[in-house]
Homo-oligomer: A and B are copies of this chain.
């Protein structure tokens, strides 16, 4: 398998995501980086960070893609990585927060092979009320 390198772009992007309490969009990351690298590079770095299980992708109810760090994923078990926790998407401030302690229970549908799950609650976050 192809090895990976640490670059300024990758370091800064990961730092941004790790230090943010909410999930960040590509646009938000780009403006925070302040011209450090090209927007295509941001897409490619995010892709890399996901395959390396450093961050995960979250999509809100409107289809907006955001990226969040993997707090609850211990580094040892990163290869068996699944983000089976819930997310909250605020309708007012549009922020996405990981609700890492919420694991929904459900009956598994017959004949379907389930690999991942996305459980997103939306409404108003504590800051907005």
A residues near B (Cβ < 8 Å) are 57, 59-65, 86, 88, 91, 99, 102-107, 109, 111-126, 129
Contacts and interface: CB of A to CB of B under 8 A. Distances in A.
Nearest to A86: B106
A129 B113 contact: yes
A122 B126 contact: no
A104 B104 contact: yes
A107 to B, nearest CB: 6
B121 A116 contact: yes
A118 B121 CA distance: 6
B113 A123 contact: yes
Nearest to A129: B113
A68 to B, nearest CB: 14
B118 A118 contact: yes
Contact of A102 (B65, B91, B102, B109): B109
Contacts of A117: 119-122
A126 B111 contact: yes
B86 A112 contact: no
